[in-house]
Structure 1
Amino acid sequence: MPNEKQPEGASVPARKPSRRRQNRVAAMQFLYLYESNRGDTLTELLLGFMDTQEKERDYYQFAEELIHGTIGNLEEIDAKIQSLASNWKFDRIARVDLAILRMACFELLHRSDIPPVVTINEAIDLGKEYSNQESRRFLNGVLDRMSSELGRPLREAE
């Protein structure tokens, strides 16, 4: 029954990640891969990557939007990260953190349909899951500075 108490010591079943979360994970993984394979064309790399995913390609539409948007605005995004990541040399940022930051920066700068607080929380959660302990503070610091420059409410989409 839904209202029954769990026996002490029983584990609570893990919630299945949302479709958006799964798409963000796929986009982050691709951006990490892209950074290591800059010589390959985006189309070839993306087709190969999508072939490795569990679900059909149209399931990952949001991931592809994030990928194309991030890569299409990479120069602007990297300049923004460099300006906000004080005391960090750009080439010293862990690749997984860079992939997360780039994707989150794209969302903050170009996806006003997503509330900034959602983007920041998702990025920090990805950092917790895929990077190290220091990552959370670093990602939060950079994204918090960026969000303060947005000039829009943190909890609302436009």
Structure 2
Amino acid sequence: MDSSPPPGPKPTAAQGRRMRSASRFYAVQALFQMEAADVGLDTVLREFETHRMGAEIDGVAYAEADLDHFRRLLNATVSEQARIDQLTHRGLVARWPIDRIDPTLRALFRAAGAELVATDTPPKVTITEFVDVAKAFYPEGKESKFVNAVLDHMAREARPDAFA
């Protein structure tokens, strides 16, 4: 059974960017949920696709997302997690094990790492977008600077050709 939405009008470029941004935000939430609730990929994909994306819950409207990008990020995170965690570990200035950082940040680094290693999205776009996701989760602002620094290091290692 295909859970893809029925074909409709193609989104404008701006709508496509907003939908891709939403897919990044949802990917961080889904990865956090997978770890916190100890649920598998299929379970979290089904829940987000059926009950969150584009839904209204308790009077809050959730954004439509680029479903393909959301799936790509989650699948790549699961299949490339060891590589992504190594990139993250090397990007952490304090050399803390990834297990010791905040679970939301860990989910964010994994989703961003998946985008860096499994898509052709320009690294600077990935960094900017995930810094914005960090700002949504941590409005105080200090975490976004930390995220920017770690993702820059990860991107330079994962995609050095993009910085030449």
Displacement of 1:109? 1.9
Would you say 1:46 and 2:45 are equivalent positions?
Answer: yes
- Letter of the 1:28 partner, please give it: V
Q: Deviations over 1:98-150 (max 9, x none)?
A: 11111111111221x21110000001011011124221121111111122222
- Letter of the 1:142 partner, please give it: V
Deviates more, 1:19-28 or 1:128-137: 128-137
- Letter of the 1:53 partner, please give it: R
Question: Structure 1 residues 108 and 45 mapped into 2: Cα distance closer, same or farther (>3 Å)?
Answer: closer
Q: How does 1:1-158 map to 2 (within 5 A)?
A: 18-38=18-38, 40-55=39-54, 59-87=66-94, 88-111=96-119, 113-131=120-138, 132-149=140-157, 150-154=159-163
Structure 1 unaligned regions, length at least 5: 1-14
Question: Structure 1 residues 116 and 37 mapped into 2: Cα distance closer, same or farther (>3 Å)?
Answer: same
| CA distance in structure 1 between the partners assigned to 2:73 and 2:30 by the alignment | 10
| CA distance in structure 1 between the partners assigned to 2:106 and 2:37 by the alignment | 15
- Letter of the 1:130 partner, please give it: F
Displacement of 1:59? 4.9
| CA distance in structure 1 between the partners assigned to 2:70 and 2:27 by the alignment | 5
Question: Structure 1 residues 144 and 41 mapped into 2: Cα distance closer, same or farther (>3 Å)?
Answer: closer
Structure 2 unaligned regions, length at least 5: 1-13, 56-63
TM-score of the superposed pair, with normalisation by structure 2: 0.74
* Residue aligned with 2:121, SS: coil
Q: Deviations over 1:9-44 (max 9, x none)?
A: xxxxxx987111111111111011111123x33212
| Aligned-pair Cα RMSD in Å | 2.5
Aligned residues: 139
| CA distance in structure 1 between the partners assigned to 2:133 and 2:44 by the alignment | 22
* Residue aligned with 2:52, SS: coil
| CA distance in structure 2 between the partners assigned to 1:81 and 1:54 by the alignment | 28
